[in-house]
Structures are given as structure tokens and as C-alpha cells.
Amino acid sequence: MKKGIIIAIALIIVLVVSFFLWQSHTNRLRSDMEYHIGAFYDYFEQNEAQNALYEALEAELLAQRLRDNNALYTIEIYITLTRDVIRGNELFDDGQYEQARTVYSYVLNDVYMLTILNYDFIVDLVESADGRIHFYDLIEQADNIISQDSQEHESLTHALSLYNEALSLATALPFEDGIELATESIEYTEELIFLVRFAEATELESQGIMHFLNGDYLKAIAHLLDAYEIYYELGETLRVAAVLARINTAEHNIEEQYRLAAEEEQRRLDEEQLRLEEEQRRQEEQNAQSPDSSDDDPDRVLSNYEHNRSIYFDMRTPIDRQGQPPASLVRMGGREGMNEGWYNGCGWIAAYNALLILDNPMHPAEIVDHFETRGGTVLDGMFGTFPHAIERLFVELGYSVNHRIFPQVRHNLDNEIRNSRVAILAYMHTSAAHFIVIEYRPEDGRFIVYNDSFARRRSTALGLENASDHGAVIDSVNALIRETPEMLFSFSLITID
């Protein structure tokens, strides 16, 4: 009996000890499993996927030994997510960014449902894949543009902007291979642009030289100025110097043509004066013999003066549209159809408007008479007024005058005009030449231009208000000349103080 009790007690003790040993082992297994799960979290959230997978697999083995189905289910989800991240990373490293992004997006969606995991790094992976996808899209767009048209400056400039955008994106990612690719593409495109622009400049220079040799100096300067600007932009200093030297020669030749034309006009006026004097002498002799005879051939200059004096001007309002009365009615010169203000009046109108701005009004009849009696008209007014005649008028009126020929070659028009009380600019356009008056308005840093349709058009396009009914506001005279397709170049700037 006693022996049986002892055996029973021993069995109980063995069972109790075994239970506690089993419980201790189970607790240790669970503790180890939780440790591996915690390590998985750390590695996973730091995007150390291989280490995270190892920890998850270790935790899976322990969950299986513990027969903990709930833990096992969760851990298997962790393993699947980690393997997907590894697969996405492999695709990413292989340059298959579209496929990598798809995998990352699936992972992101699944991790989002598991609120215990931090998914910021997966968002970064998706954005990084997106960035590389966009980078190669930009590169492909630019490559296609160049392959389709590598000789067009505008197309190359567009491609270059895309390469630069790709470079900025690669730098921000950062993406070293992308930075290298974009940089090489930019350098190649810049070389193409240089070659294309250089070819454009060379062609323009050749056309300018051809016109120069043919004696058409205005067209020569128009082409040479375009070539000059491109060479200057490209930093071709020797070419710039050569073109500028030819422009200077063309300017000199034009001035010489003007001088010869002025001398010819003066000679014609002198001959006309002699003819009139001879006619007057003969008329006087005839009148002496025939007292009743009358003179029906009045002096043309005097006739123009009397006609112009009969036209009313308020002497306060600038002229902004020479094609409308009273400006259109003023006569200058003697060639019918070409001697009225609507046709040849821009020169005397510029002088008239400038004098109004200077608070020194002068009737147009006096201005026109000054030009006609001083050899100031070009071919009897058919081509308007010589710039030097306008300069001479203001000098004789006592103003400080600075006259620059072809000013835009060496001077900033905006700065020159800002530093004067008023300026008179002459330019060539596709139909003829034209004089305009420009006044700087310091209160808002803009310019008022009188009697110029191009300025009115620019003012309207930019949404700038009119200064009055008799002038247009523009933001830049430089821009007006350079950005108006019909304008070729400026050839005279008279600044008056």
C-alpha cells in the first residue's frame, strides 16, 4: 500500500515538473518568436528586405513549433510582403521601373491594411520608381525630337529643355546613372545647337556680304545685324569683330549716300533757285514790256508754306496718326501724290511732337519750311526727311542733341532714351522707313510712343493702357524693335535734352 502511494506521489511530481519545464520551454519559444518578429519590423521598415525575410522565416518556424495559427497566419503575410519587396527591388535594379512600380503599389496597398507596419519607405520606393519612369519619358521625348529634326534651332532648344528637366529630376532623386545620361545628352544637344546656330549666322553673314557687294547697304546691315547677334550669343568674338567691321563700313557708305543725296538735293535746289531767279528776271523784263501781264507760276516752297499755314493745329495735342487730318493735309515737297503728310510726314511730325513735349510748340508750316529751305528733304520729299535735318533743327533751336547712327548695334535703346528728355527714333520696316517720338515715363518705368502703329499693336497685345488718345505705352523699345517681325532695324536715334 505504502509503495503504491509513493509511486503515485512520484508520478505527480514528475508531471508537475514536466509541466513547468514544458511551460518554460513554450515561453522561451514565444519570446524568441516575438524577438524575431520585432527584428523583422526593424529591418522591414528600413528597407533591409533580405534581413527582414530571414527574421520572418525564423519566426515562422517558431510559430509552427508553438502551433500558434494566428501568429503563423500573420507571419506568412509578412513573408509574402517581404518577398514582394525583394522582387520589386530586383526589377528596380534591373531597370524595369514600370513593373517595379506595380509590385511596390501592391505591397503599399497590403501594408496600408496592416496598421502596425510603417509604410513610408514603400511610398519612397513608389515615388523613386515614378521618378525614373518620368526621367526616361523625358529622355525619350527629347531623343525623338532630335531624331526627327536635328537641324531646327527651335526643336533642338525644346529637346535641350527636356534634357535639363531630366537632369534636375535625376539630381533630386538622386539617380547617378540618370545624371550621367542627362549630362551627356545636354552636352551633345548644345553642340548641335551651336552648329545649327553657327550655320544660320554664316548664311546670314553671306547674304549680308552679297547685298553689301551689290551696294544694297540697308539689306546688308539687316542680315549682318542678325548674324552679329547670333555670333555674339555663341561667343564667337572673331566673327563678331569681322561682322561689326562690315556693319561699320556699311553705315559709313550709307552716310556717304545720304551726304551725296543731300548735296545732290542742294545742287538741285540751287539750280532751281537760279532757274527761278532767271524766270523772275525774264518775267520782270516781260512785265516791263507788258505791264498788264501777271505771274501765274508761284514758288513751290512758298506755296507749300502758305498752304500749311492755313491748316489749324491746336499746338497742344501730339500727332499720333499721320493718315488723319490735319496732319495728312500738310504738304512737303513738290511731287504730286507723294508730298502730303499721310505719305511723307513722319519726319516733320516727329519734330512737331518732340517740340510739344519740350514745351516749345512750333507750327508744322515752320518745320516743313525749315526742311525744304535747308536741303532737309530726301529726293524732294518723296522719301521724307533726312535724320540730320531733324538734328540740325534742334541744334539751331539751342537744344543739346546727341545723334547715333544704327544705335542698336552698340547701344541699349532703352537706356539711351531714359537719359534724355525726348528721343526721335528712325527705323526701317518691310515697306519703308519711319520716324517716331519716344518719351520715357519714370513714374512707372515705361515709354510713351507717338505716331507708331507697331507700338500701339504691342501695347494692346501686352494689355498696357494708352497714355492718352495720342500715344501708346510700351514696356521696352529694345523689345519693340527686336520682336516685331515687320521691323528690320533702327538706323537713327536723336536724343534731345
User: Which of 233, 251, 269 is at the close of a domain?
Assistant: 251
Residues above pLDDT 70, as percent of the chain: 86
Q: pLDDT digit string (tens) for 160-205?
A: 999 999 999 999 988 899 999 999 999 999 999 999 999 999 999 9
Task: Mark whether 106 and 138 lie in a shared domain.
Answer: no
| Residue 60 · residue 32 · CB < 8 Å | no
Task: Mark whether 454 and 354 lie in a shared domain.
Answer: yes
Beta-bridge partners for 337: none
Q: Count up the domains in the chain and report the number.
A: 3
Would residue 35 count as lying in a domain? yes
Domain that holds residue 224: 133-251
Mean pLDDT of 441-470: 81
User: Which of 64, 93, 118 is at the close of a domain?
Assistant: 118
Place of cell 561682322: 243
- pLDDT greater than 60 at residue 277: yes
Mean pLDDT of 350-372: 92
Q: pLDDT digit string (tens) for 312-339?
A: 888 888 998 888 889 888 989 877 777 7
Task: Mark whether 70 and 216 lie in a shared domain.
Answer: no
Would residue 105 count as lying in a domain? yes
Task: Mark whether 443 and 331 lie in a shared domain.
Answer: yes
Task: Mark whether 113 and 167 lie in a shared domain.
Answer: no
User: Which of 83, 118, 153 is at the close of a domain?
Assistant: 118
